[in-house]
Amino acid sequence: MQWKENELGLLVPATPYTYGSKTPQLNRLRKVLGEKYLLAPSRRQIMSSGQKVPADLGPWDLQHIREHVSGRKEESVKVLLGVALLRKKGIVERDDVVAYKGAQYQRGKGSTDYPAAHRFPCNPTIRGWGLPHHARTSGLKSALQEPLEETDYLPKLVNYADRLFEANGACDAVANAVRFVLHEQPVEKEINQTMIRHAAICELFRGYADALDSALALANANTSGIDMLDPTVLQHVNDTWFSGTGSQKAQESIEVVRFALSYAASISIADGEPGMLAPAAMKNYADSLETLGKEV
């Protein structure tokens, strides 16, 4: 039997084919098409290489939030370069449907108090599939997966602030940036670093900034407490986050969320461009993806 790829990227019979008088069962389809071509609910894949979940209040240190926000930019450039490579190799098309879904990959398992917070806001999809699915080699698949699985262990309220950020424009910014790269990267041409730079700074990072502003506006409008903090923890937050002379102390959890969003916004500006946007860094990463994508 001959097979062809349809508009969704699925293998279907090239000519009409009848399985019999009854609708084929799922296990029969698996034998014919293979597992990878079945549209099935994705499950969270948790990698065991994550750092140990902290047992103390250390992650309330603002440096951990700074690393999380700055790391988000680094992983973002890697994702855009991965999309550009898929387009360069002709694996995905210029006008393919781009969307996003919740995180599918996760490095390390968090805890109730310290969830594993993803650096990249979401799992972008092309033709309904995440980026790793489009890889033709296991090496490239793992490389495309890595920036999507990168996580930091941060307090629950910081993770809540992250969810507000994601739901108020960050994921939409990801989809817009991916569409831009698909449109602008030619097939069988070197990855355009100037284009990647524009996609990162003007499409994605600007979208992140707008999402942080929107999330903060929503948090400011919410005057009720969220998962009220234990007084000991609240005291620790005030000592480490609001320690300046004349600083107003946080009385409720929502004030901690607001501060986390404000701090993330300021860091996003103050830290400037990520190292991954340096020409040499982009070239080295793109070359490594190219090597991993070569079929033996």
Distance CA 118, CA 281 (A): 22
Distance CA 78, CA 84 (A): 10
Contacts of 235 (CB under 8 A, 6+ apart): none
Give the pLDDT confidence score for residue 296 in this predicted structure.
57
Give the pLDDT confidence score for residue 264 in this predicted structure.
96
Give the pLDDT confidence score for residue 34 in this predicted structure.
46
Give pTM, 2 decimals: 0.82
HSE at residue 245, side-chain half, CA atoms within 13 A, is 0
Give the pLDDT confidence score for residue 227 in this predicted structure.
80
| Sequential pLDDT tens for the chain (296 residues) | 556 666 655 555 665 544 334 444 445 434 444 444 334 445 566 665 556 777 778 888 899 999 999 999 999 999 999 999 999 999 999 999 999 998 889 887 888 889 889 999 999 999 999 999 999 999 999 999 999 999 999 999 999 999 999 999 999 999 999 999 999 999 999 999 999 999 999 999 999 999 999 999 999 998 777 888 888 889 999 988 987 766 788 988 999 999 999 999 999 999 889 999 999 999 999 999 999 998 75
Tell me the sheet residues that pair with 105: 45
Pairing of strands 45-47, 105-107: parallel
Task: Supply the DSSP symbol for 200.
Answer: I
Q: Is the dihedral of CA 130, 99, 73, 180 positive or negative?
A: positive
Where along the chain do its domains lie? Answer: 1-40, 44-292
